[in-house]
Chain A
């Protein structure tokens, strides 16, 4: 924004393109702008949070090209051509993801501010270790700080989701957009 409160012209910055939650997006922003800020400010996906700006708390975690990243540490230029998943892309066609179900049932979220990043880290973990041991769960989530839960119920939620995903039949897409717990 300039001093008169007018929107800055986007034409100054070349377009940077990537997909978010399966949708192609294009932004004209400075290449050093943090991916976190692009997601929140330019794409209005405010599910991803800023807790520290130092890559310590993990509340900005997203999945980029099937890797977990702290989006506060990624200059958006480096996301060119990437496939990004945020918490908004976890539920599919109105159905909660098994992780979201498990967190709801097991008390994995209290204040909820660490939850989006925590879900991303857990999703990344389960994508590569579908049957993680407790030690693997702890390691997978070590970069996501939670001040409310003491982590206990988060571990249980991830373990429960791992078990649930195991026994889950392939899902048919559902048309409704309201979220409901099964």
Chain B
């Protein structure tokens, strides 16, 4: 496949495949659905962070015979949510390890009676001492998980770190912290479940990974494959928050459906969704860096620790990605990364766009500016001296085989943002202005797809078939949740087959109908699954040439006619392909050596920030994002991903804080979990460079998560530029800025000149 060939549909701004339905109010989200005889379900949750359940009592004034009540004892299969490590119970059995942990489930046809009944379940506990922070968990007393509180650890080593310190002209240390972050998809989590002896379990829901839910249901119900069915409904935002959590919710609703004999809908309200579902892992990252007299990196030692919450969920893979993104786009001969994920008695943390990279990149890119300050070097110059180039090896000794243009990305970002001129201008103006302005940048990458041998392990299967009506149908388990899956995969199929965009449809994301093409995560859909669709289409053409007289080249009409001929002669017409790893991939999962990712997208982001010294608020006034992403399959969708990710990154840096008290989220309402509004987001300028990646769908690399990695460090670097004060933790709220800028001044003294 020639990634440089001109294309008609790939690269064109075709209308979003399901766009009209969304615009006229016809798109069907799970709470828009009803099933006949449907009941509602609710969850009784732990009110303490850790302890034993002493007793469960049911208020006698309620007629419990009207309700279905489900406990762990009702679970037919294993009381475990299948994911990576088998540690998370579907329902707590005798003990709880976090606030909001589900203990029992109730169902009733009347929502109001159900709500009353929730208040009628009285649980008494024998509390145990809880652990709430990385530091408390590190003390390993008490032990709250496994033998040592460690959910996972990695050690990545390259070269010889220990001997570098004595040779170094400069040694710079820093500690950086990132907070939890909530996805805040505007559609809350929800599912509807049905159960019958003949069909088994069926679940409709707002979810990213039908086959993850499928696997979880099989485990909890001990059912064979043909007795479990999962269907994704139109999903109102996900960002990783609907990667693993829906498995929990689906099992709950299905258990109620089975026991009640009715379909059961469970849709969380905002307060429950915020308090009880997964969030981004908080992290603490410590850097110690050795440099020579010219500011070239000699060695990096990094201790990266995340808070995983009470159960492992995806902590190991988040830690993996954090580890592999912790050293930045820089050449460094010696590296040691010691990464650990710690269990605490908080609501389990899970997947969120970036998946460990935002935490790691924040630390690395803040640290680069601290190094620059310590060495008296310009932050731009420091980076230039250390960028990776084609032919270098990175921290896992992966050879950078593809062309690399970090210098050019940096040049473009500086030029578009007028970085140097603005920095000088602000430096002059800030002295006389209570508003201090600054410019900051971040250089980073995001690995596309699953790490190392992950894609081989996923063993994705995907393809196309042709319907009796002559439509080509894309068969994938990858889901649309706003990012453009439907549009991009149909573009690829139409392009590869030489037909029109409107000739191609998506098969319903229903495990009864589509193969397992892997989860919709890790920025893999366009690159990995897109490539599978491309191959399957080429395979289909080959089949039609061989068996249905299709010529080469062919017109659209000839293709459709060949399909009709084939179907008439042979019945079904389909073409599926399995993932094939690009040749020569080497990855050692124990030593963390080799090709960590098949492809990287590269970026340089620049933020312009204003800090108001009357209110200590920081705002992003302008933002420039330059990235190299392989191939832009759809200019509007791609830019939309970058803009949306940057807005979330701005929230991560300056607005979004999860406030905990005794292990409970206290700001679990939209009024006090603060995301930026339409009046808060700056103009965002997006620029794409394209170096098509041979093994990606039409040359595409992943872009979904990249944009969330860069904003926070760029913004805090800009704040450092604006104020001269270094801030190393996010979210950086005005109260924190105040602490760093003015708290040392006696409050009686005037602030303004």
Q: Do chains A and B touch in the complex (CB under 8 A)?
A: yes
A-side residues, CB < 8 A to B, are 1-3, 5, 40, 45-54, 56-57, 59, 86-88, 90-91, 96, 100, 103-107, 109-116, 119, 137-139, 141-155, 179, 181
A residues near B412, Cβ cutoff 8 Å: none
Check B671–A153 contact: CB distance below 8 A: no
Q: Pick from B15, B113, B637, B645: contact of A104, CB below 8 A.
A: B15
Distance from A22 Cβ to chain B, minimum over Cβ atoms (Å): 15
**CB contact under 8 A between A46 and B25, given known A148-B482, A149-B640:** yes
* Chain B, range 547-582, C-beta contacts under 8 Å to A: none
Check A153–B636 contact: CB distance below 8 A: yes
Cα distance, A176 to B239, chains bound together (Å): 38
Distance from B681 Cβ to chain A, minimum over Cβ atoms (Å): 5
Check B26–A107 contact: CB distance below 8 A: no
Check B670–A52 contact: CB distance below 8 A: yes
Check A53–B186 contact: CB distance below 8 A: no
> Can you give 26 contacting A-B residue pairs, CB < 8 Å?
A50-B31, A56-B671, A59-B186, A96-B20, A96-B23, A104-B19, A105-B15, A107-B636, A109-B23, A110-B644, A111-B22, A112-B23, A113-B29, A139-B679, A145-B184, A145-B670, A146-B678, A150-B648, A150-B681, A150-B684, A151-B678, A152-B640, A153-B636, A153-B643, A154-B678, A155-B678
Q: Pick from A54, A110, A138: contact of B679, CB below 8 A.
A: A138
* Chain B, range 642-666, C-beta contacts under 8 Å to A: 643-648
Contact with A along B360-401 (1 / 0, CB 8 A): 000000000000000000000000000000000000000000
Check A151–B236 contact: CB distance below 8 A: no
Interface residue total, chain B, C-beta cutoff 8 A: 62
Q: Nearest 7 CB-CB pairs, A to B?
A: A47-B25, A113-B236, A111-B482, A112-B22, A150-B647, A110-B482, A150-B643
Tell me whether B188 is interfacial, beta carbon within 8 Å.
Answer: yes
A residues near B483, Cβ cutoff 8 Å: 110, 148
Q: Pick from A46, A88, A141: contact of B678, CB below 8 A.
A: A141
Q: Is the interface of A mostly helix, strand, loop or mixed?
A: loop
List the A residue with the shortest CB-CB distance to B39.
A5
List the A residue with the shortest CB-CB distance to B636.
A107
Check A87–B25 contact: CB distance below 8 A: yes
Distance from B239 Cβ to chain A, minimum over Cβ atoms (Å): 7
A residues near B643, Cβ cutoff 8 Å: 149-153
Distance from B166 Cβ to chain A, minimum over Cβ atoms (Å): 48
B residues near A152, Cβ cutoff 8 Å: 639-640, 643, 681, 683-684
**CB contact under 8 A between A87 and B24, given known A51-B187, A107-B636, A148-B482:** yes
Cα distance, A81 to B681, chains bound together (Å): 39
Distance from B602 Cβ to chain A, minimum over Cβ atoms (Å): 21
Distance from B91 Cβ to chain A, minimum over Cβ atoms (Å): 25
Cα distance, A118 to B109, chains bound together (Å): 33
Known: A49-B187, A100-B24, A181-B20. 7 other contacts (CB 8 A): A56-B670, A113-B236, A144-B678, A148-B237, A148-B644, A149-B647, A152-B640
B residues near A57, Cβ cutoff 8 Å: 186, 670
Check B20–A104 contact: CB distance below 8 A: yes
Cα distance, A139 to B646, chains bound together (Å): 21
Check A153–B186 contact: CB distance below 8 A: no
Contact with A along B11-50 (1 / 0, CB 8 A): 0010110111111111111011000010000000000000
**CB contact under 8 A between A107 and B16, given known A51-B186, A51-B270, A152-B684:** yes
A residues near B31, Cβ cutoff 8 Å: 46, 49-50
Check A150–B644 contact: CB distance below 8 A: yes
Cα distance, A96 to B20, chains bound together (Å): 9
Check A104–B647 contact: CB distance below 8 A: no
List the A residue with the shortest CB-CB distance to B112.
A1
B residues near A3, Cβ cutoff 8 Å: 63, 66, 108-110, 113
Check A147–B640 contact: CB distance below 8 A: no
A residues near B610, Cβ cutoff 8 Å: none
Q: Pick from B16, B28, B185, B235: contact of A147, CB below 8 A.
A: B185
Cα distance, A149 to B185, chains bound together (Å): 12
Check B186–A113 contact: CB distance below 8 A: yes
Tell me whether B234 is interfacial, beta carbon within 8 Å.
Answer: yes
Check B110–A115 contact: CB distance below 8 A: no
Distance from B277 Cβ to chain A, minimum over Cβ atoms (Å): 15
Distance from B241 Cβ to chain A, minimum over Cβ atoms (Å): 10
Tell me whether B55 is interfacial, beta carbon within 8 Å.
Answer: no
B residues near A56, Cβ cutoff 8 Å: 669-671
Cα distance, A91 to B24, chains bound together (Å): 7
A residues near B670, Cβ cutoff 8 Å: 51-52, 54, 56-57, 145
Cα distance, A87 to B21, chains bound together (Å): 11
Distance from B606 Cβ to chain A, minimum over Cβ atoms (Å): 16
Tell me whether B481 is interfacial, beta carbon within 8 Å.
Answer: yes
A residues near B63, Cβ cutoff 8 Å: 3
Cα distance, A48 to B647, chains bound together (Å): 25
Tell me whether B677 is interfacial, beta carbon within 8 Å.
Answer: yes
Cα distance, A104 to B15, chains bound together (Å): 6
Check A54–B669 contact: CB distance below 8 A: yes
Check A138–B678 contact: CB distance below 8 A: yes
Cα distance, A155 to B681, chains bound together (Å): 11
Cα distance, A20 to B537, chains bound together (Å): 47
* Chain B, range 726-746, C-beta contacts under 8 Å to A: none
List the A residue with the shortest CB-CB distance to B270.
A52
Check A1–B640 contact: CB distance below 8 A: no
B residues near A141, Cβ cutoff 8 Å: 678
Cα distance, A153 to B234, chains bound together (Å): 21
* Chain B, range 107-122, C-beta contacts under 8 Å to A: 108-110, 113
Cα distance, A179 to B31, chains bound together (Å): 24
Cα distance, A65 to B235, chains bound together (Å): 31
A residues near B28, Cβ cutoff 8 Å: 46
Check B27–A112 contact: CB distance below 8 A: yes
Check B636–A49 contact: CB distance below 8 A: no
List the B residue with the shortest CB-CB distance to A121.
B678
